[in-house]
Every structure is written in structure tokens, then in C-alpha cells.
Structure 1
Amino acid sequence: MSKYFSLEGRILAFSILALAIAAGLPWLLSLIGLDARLSWTLGLILGICTLISLIRLALKPLTSTLKSLQGGLLNFRDGDFSISLVSPRDTELSKITNLYNDIGEHLRRERAHIYQRELLLDTVIQSSTQALILVDQSDHIIYSNSSAKKLLNGGKPIQGLLLQKLLPNSPKEIASAIQNWDNGLFNYTDKYGSHSMHIGNSTFVLNAHKHRLIVMREMTKELTKAEVEVWRKVIRLISHELNNSLAPISSLAHSGKMLIAKPDKAAALGKVFDIIAERCKHLTEFTQGYASFAKLPPPSCELVSWQELVERIAPLQEFILKGELPERPGYFDPVQIEQALLNLIKNSREAGSGSNDIELSIHTDGLGQQLVIADRGCGMSEKVLQQALLPFFSTKEQGVGLGLALCREIVDAHGGHIQLMNRNGGGLQISLWLPWEQET
């Protein structure tokens, strides 16, 4: 019967059958001589019992289907989409189970698609040369790639470790930048040589919890390639400048030679020599700027009083001395370090920082000496920050791009390193770190 009638039809049929029993039974009982009132009572009770039994029988497929749906939905909640329901013979109920099965199949395909995308993304991240670390709000590392493991822990797994416990195994410059949430370009040295690393920090909220993403990009090869391109550009620039001056000088020299034979042209001859002298002066000034960078002599290190260094710089550039000067004298080439500090203070002023916002601080410890110039100028964009130390790179209209590059050469010649980072609240901070003794 359930095959041919809907649930509502079966309940209606069973109700009519129960009413027929309840109405016909008293008549049958009266034929055998029972009291009419008793007959009607027995008939009503039997009819109600029959109706309840038949309704339960009619609702059995519905109850079974609801239990199956409940179990399936619990599986959905637990992330299990593999269970399919058997469709009952009832047409209406089969529509529900078929809809459930279709949703389960859709969810299975979606999860498989998401899994494949996550697998592809993880493969790309793991093969990336950039080191990535994801840290939760309790400072535990919840994700990292192969480059991060190699950089910070010698290739060993770091997932689940506390970031603070991992940093002592890392290069000290990188560890300090990560610990202080610094963004910028940092130099460090290991057994493989000198490296330049760009570090960026960002935060985001995931599942109502704050997370920190640290991205570290090795810039050594990029800087080397960029330097080669810069040198090519400089060669073209010098060649162009020389041609612009030598061609007219050659022409004027020829004209002067012809004027010598004409005594009445002495005034014109003097003008020719004046133009030649002017062009020669221009070439001399042009080449001297590059010579100061290309012919930097090796540093002649000596013990230097910090107070004397500050007093020599103060009349030339205005700045604020922050903190106390170290008692232990510095050890470096005073002329070169003085030139580096003057260049940095000059850059800070040209970047829009007032003299009262340019700070010089000096710190020493058992490992080395650190000189820090901090300003409140316009700072640097990420792109500029990555190229700021390249020779001849400049964002100034009339700049030649030698100031920061010369500072880098001076610090490298001392065996130290230079670090650039934007400050919170605006401005730039440049740190010069020098060892006590130059490596040979």
C-alpha cells in the first residue's frame, strides 16, 4: 500500500478504516445481545486503538527517514560527507533523501577541490625562496615553509615552537628585527658570506584570533644584479657626458688653432679658451663625485672619543644627541665615519625632517658599536627601501645616488653592516654597526 499512496493518503485511509471499525463494531456486538452502551464504548476504544496502531504504521517510514537524516546531519557537522541515505519507497520522502545525497555529493566535490587548491598553494609556498612564518597570538609558530626552516633552524621543523625560543638559533640581526617587529633591509654575515635580507611584518585576524605573518626575502642576488645594471647605466652616463664635452672641446681647439694665425682675432681666441676651461671644470666636478666613491681608501682605524666625534659633526649639521655617550672610546676611521654621519644627517634634512627631529644615538657592547640616525622625514616605500643602498640610485631630481652607497661602502670596509627601516609614526632609522676589530 505504501508503494502506491503518499503519506497523507495512507493516514487518511487508515483513519477512515478506524472510523468504520468504530461505527460497525457496536452494531455487530448488539447482534449478539450486548448492551448498546457497552457496545458503543467497546467499539470506540477498539477504533481508537486501531487508529493509533495504523497511524504508527503509516508514520514508520517517516520516522526512519528522520532518524537517518539526523545521523547524516551529525556526520556533516563532524566534517564527514561520505554517508549517503537509502531512498524510501515513499515519493515525498525520497525527494528529501535524494536532496540530502545531492548536497553530500556537492560538499564532497567542494572539499576535494579546496584540498587540491590548498595542496597546490602549500607546494608553491614550500618551494618559494622567501621565508614565511605564521605565528598565533600565543607566539607559537603554526606554519612555516622550507626556506624559513633553513634560515632559522638549520632545516629542522619549527612548527609548534615558540618564536622566542627559536630566535637564539638565528642570525642575531634577523632575530633582533623579528623580535622588535622591524620592517626593512638588514645585512648579516654567516659562514657562507654576507647577505642582505628584507623583512616584512603584517597582522590579520583569522577565526577571531590575531595572527602575525613574517616574510623574509633574500635580496643578495637581486642587489648584485641591480648593481651590475647600475654600473652599465653609469658607464653609459659617463660616456654620454664625456662625449658632450669632448666633442665641443675638440672643435674649439681646432678653431683656436686657426685663430692663432690671425693676430686681430685675439679676443675671439680668449673666448674659445674660456669655453674650453668651463667644460674642463664641469668634467672635473663630474668625475670627482664618482672618484670619491670608486677610490675609497681602506679605513685607518684608531681609538676615537665619542665626544670629539660629536663636536666635529655638530658645527656642520644640526641634530639632537639622544642618550648618554658610551664611556668606552670608539674604534674606527674617524674621517670616514664622520663623512658617513654627515651624509645621513644631510639626507634626513632633505627628506623633510626638522633639525630637532634628527636624533643621533650611540651604543656599545662587548661585540661592537652601533650609531643610529633617526628622523621624522617622509621615510621610504618598500620598493625604494630595497634599492636605497645601490650605487647611483636616487629619488631626488638632481641626486647622483652616492650618499647611502658611500655609507654602505664605508661600513662594509670596517667589517660592519648597515640597516634601514621605517619608523612607527613616520620617518627613517639607519643603524651603522661596527665591530671592535676589523676582520682580516
Structure 2
Amino acid sequence: MTSSLFPQDSKKRLIFLAFLIVGIATAHYLTSVALHYYHNIYRRLFYLPIIFGAFWFGRGGGLGVAFVTSLVYLPHVLIQWQATPKGNLDQFLEMLMFHVVGGLTGMLVEQVEHRQVQLVEANRRLESANAEIRASYEALKRQSEALLQAEEALMRKNRLASLGELLANMAHELRTPLGSIKGVAEIFRDKLPEDDKLHELSKILVLQVDRLNHVVENFLQFVRSGPKAHGGNAEVGEIVTDVLALSRQRAEAGKIEIVTAIPSALPPVAIDPEPLQQVLLNLVVNAIQAMPEGGRLEILARDMGDKVEISVSDTGCGIPSEVREKIFDPFFTTKTGGTGLGLSICERIVSGFGGLLTVTSEVGEGTTFTVALPKKTTMA
């Protein structure tokens, strides 16, 4: 049995053993038999090739080298026996010990090798078991994450259902005062001469009430059955212009610089104008509120292939990560007196039209909300 402890080049080892045995035997034969002290030393040196043989070639190697050593040593024993026949019994016993030492050493080496093989196999099985445990852990972790996501989705769905019912009631209640406001505005519009400035303001008021009524109607349909994911057609540049017209005064009062970059060739997006205006106006107002000491508001739009991205960025205080994780949850708010519904409604509107609303933020640097909406497809 060949051990990993054994030499890889067995031929060189055999030559070394032969050289060692011949060298020790030569010292025996060249030394006078009368010099017992030296012969005792040489006889002990024969254990070196025997032990080497056992270590390098196992039990068979140890016994083989012991046998060869005994054959080489035997003539010297016979010569010395003739010189002193009564004093050589211990030398024959020494040759017996050669074989005992060679066999025992080789057996111990083989046991060590066998134990090493067992340890390697045990280590391999342990690594295999560890790999299975890691795989099981990863699978369990994925299942746990999936369950948590499913639970969060269910909770979110329940919250949205409650939100829809609540907002449907609120929208329904808004229709009565809007009707009254429109009626009064129409009376002023009809009574006042057309060159009167109040006549123009009353016309604007009627138009805005009609727009709010349209928003309410759309919102009622939205919270009941969800927005339509097709059929919309909104020009981003026009919507941004309208949003800035409604919020510019507030921005200027707060010393906020407004920067826009809307390509003129930007294609329309597949969403109705009113809900897109509602989303962008909410994001712009939030950005202005995030910069009470003034700052910079950027509205950028870019063509991203099959989608159009609209980003609203501010240089405000930023949003901590633990808040960002819940920012689109209904009724979650960090504002005093806030309802926690604005961003939730925006997220639902955008997702309902096949888009995605995301947020990135760094505390102390600012926040960017990005609305990604599919392009309006032209039917051939």
C-alpha cells in the first residue's frame, strides 16, 4: 500500500536504501571483528534503512528491507561466529528485531495512512453536508423572503382597499361643493361684461372647476376599478408647463430655483393628462416643501426606448433609508398634519398605467422621484 508519505520517485528511494545498506555492511566487513564497540554501532545503524523503507513503502517495504539487511549482515555474523562462537547469539536476535521493527513501523505507517484517508473522506462528507446545509439555508431564506413579500403585498392590498373606499367617499363628497362653486362662477361669468377682469377670472374658475370635476370622476373610477393601462395620451412638456404654472409662485416665495429640461421631440406617454398632472404636481409640491431654506428644483425628461422617464429632484434634506422603505405605503407620513396618501395615490396611478414610480435619496443632499411611463403607441 503506497502512502502519501512515501516518495513519489520510488526508484531514487530504492537506490538510496541500497547505498545505505551497502555502506553500513562495508563498514562492518572492513572493521576488525575484534573491535566490538564499532560493530555494535554499525549494527544499530542498520535500523535506519529499515525504518526508511517502512516509512516510504509501508509494511511490505519495512519487512523487505529488514530481510535484505539480514542477508547482507548474515555473512559478517558467521565470520564473527567463527572467531567467537559463544558471543553471537544476540546478533541473530538483532536480525529478528530487524524484521519486528520493519513490520511494526510499516504497520503503524499504514494505519496512519488509513486514518488520513478516513479523515479526508470524513472531511469530504462534511463539506458535502455543509454544502447541502447551505443550499437548504438559502432555499429556506428565499422561501422566508417570499413569504414576507407575500405578507407585505397582502397587507398593502388590504390597506389599498381601505384607502380606495375612504377616498371614494371623499371624492363623492367633493362633488357637491364643486357644483356650488361652478354655479356661482357661471353666474358671475354671465352677469359681468366680457371686458371686465372679473369676467375672465370667473371663466378661469369655471374651467378649473370642470377640471377638478374631471379629476374627481377619474379618481372615482380609479379607486373602484383601477386606472386604465391603455388609451391615455399625454404630452409631457405641456403637463410640466401646467404644473409649474400652478406651483411657480410658491417656489419663488421659497427662493427655489426651477430648472427644466424637456426635449421638444419627446414622444407622448400612455396616460391621461389629468392623472399625470396630479402626480407631477404632488411631487413638485413635496420637493418645494423639502427646501424650506431655498434650493434647486429640477424637472428632467428623457426618452428611454420603450418608456419615458420624468424625474423631479430637489436639494432638500433627503429621506432616511428606513423612511424610503415605507414612503409609498398608505397613511404613512412624516409631516405634521399629513395624511400619508399623496405618494401612495401617485404610485398607484403610475403603476395602474403600466409605469413605475421610484425614489432615490441621500440624507443632506436631496431626493429624486422618477416616473417611468410607457410611450403612447400609434396604431397602424
TM-score of the superposition, structure 1-length normalised? 0.43
Q: Which of the pair is proportionally richer in strand?
A: 1
Q: Which of the pair is proportionally richer in helix?
A: 2
TM-score of the superposition, structure 2-length normalised? 0.48
- Of structures 1 and 2, the one scoring higher in RCO (CA 8 A, sep 6+) is 2
